[in-house]
Amino acid sequence: MKINRLYSILIAFLFTLAACNQAQDNNSNEAEADNQEVQEQVSEKEEAEEVMEEEMEEISEQLSIPEGARVFFSNIKDGETVASPVHLEFGLEGMEIEPAGKLTQGMGHHHVIIDGSSIERGTVVPTDENNIHFGKGQTEADIEMEAGEHTLTMQFADGLHQSYGEQMSVTITVIVE
């Protein structure tokens, strides 16, 4: 009788052990499946971002610059002496002003780059103290500047702040008193 009971306990133990191993295998398989699903979702997201980025580049490249289009400072000439705050009036020919936010053929907005140069076409104009955005469609501004010689670059960009490049920029030197 003791042997039968011992066999029963041993069999129960073996079934319990087998069940635990099966549950552990199931949990491991579930974890692997979950991990694989997460990796697939990350991969899909990365692919979607890549496609979107490529489409935006294509759209930006499709925004052509009309022949003869240009930007200029309409109130200050190269080499002029000015007082701070420097009043700037932005001139534009061949394109039109539109606030930032959407891409429209023949449209864009101004940026002023202090002590810098034009930005390569398609590159987003940075936002910092030397790269001033006029994304609301402003056509003039007063800018506080330290005394001394400085360059001012006007850079026209599309609705996503992507530069139209050197063709739509102009750089002048001013002496701030």
Amino acid identity for residue 131 in this structure: N
Mean pLDDT of 83-91: 98
Give pLDDT tens digits for 100-118. Answer: 999 999 999 999 999 999 9
For residue 122, which of 157, 170, 169 has the smallest C-alpha distance?
Answer: 157
Least confident range from 36-40, 125-129, 172-176: namely 36-40
Confidence of residue 49 (pLDDT cuts 50, 70, 90): confident
Report strand pairing: 169-176 vs 81-82: parallel
- Domain edges within the chain: 1-62, 70-176
Strands, DSSP E only, in the chain?
70-73, 81-82, 86-93, 96-97, 107-114, 131-134, 140-143, 148-157, 169-176
* 73 vs 13, residue with greater confidence: 73
Confidence of residue 44 (pLDDT cuts 50, 70, 90): confident
Could you tell me the pTM of the whole model?
0.67
Question: Which CATH architecture best describes the domain 70-176?
Answer: Sandwich (2.60)
Confidence of residue 41 (pLDDT cuts 50, 70, 90): confident
Least confident range from 3-7, 117-121, 170-174: namely 3-7
**Taking 90 as the threshold, does the pLDDT of residue 174 lie above it?**
yes
Mean pLDDT of 3-24: 59
